[in-house]
Amino acid sequence: MNENEFQFVMDCDVESLVSFLQEDYHLPLSEAFEKVYGSKIFEKLKDRKTGLYLQSPAYIYTFLTEELHEQYKNV
């Protein structure tokens, strides 16, 4: 997979994750993007070595919600 293809997959994954957050948590678009881009899951997603970007957005979303729930639990 070349860099353009990788970036396209990443963009699609982020778009899906943001949509899921908006739908499930009624977040404004900007806040949903902040949650995704500020997450540890996003760091893993953009690391080709993890292979996470090859998984479905729904699967990735489960990890994102777990991370977000942990953050709020510790507040």
What's the rounded mean pLDDT across residues 30-48? 97
pTM of the model: 0.91
What is the rounded distance in angstroms from the CA atom of residue 39 to the CA atom of residue 26? 18
Mean pLDDT of 4-16: 96
Q: What is the pLDDT of residue 72?
A: 76
Residue 75's pLDDT band (cuts 50, 70, 90): low
pLDDT of residue 74: 65
**Share of residues in the chain with pLDDT > 90 (%):** 91
The pLDDT of 37-44, averaged and rounded, is: 97
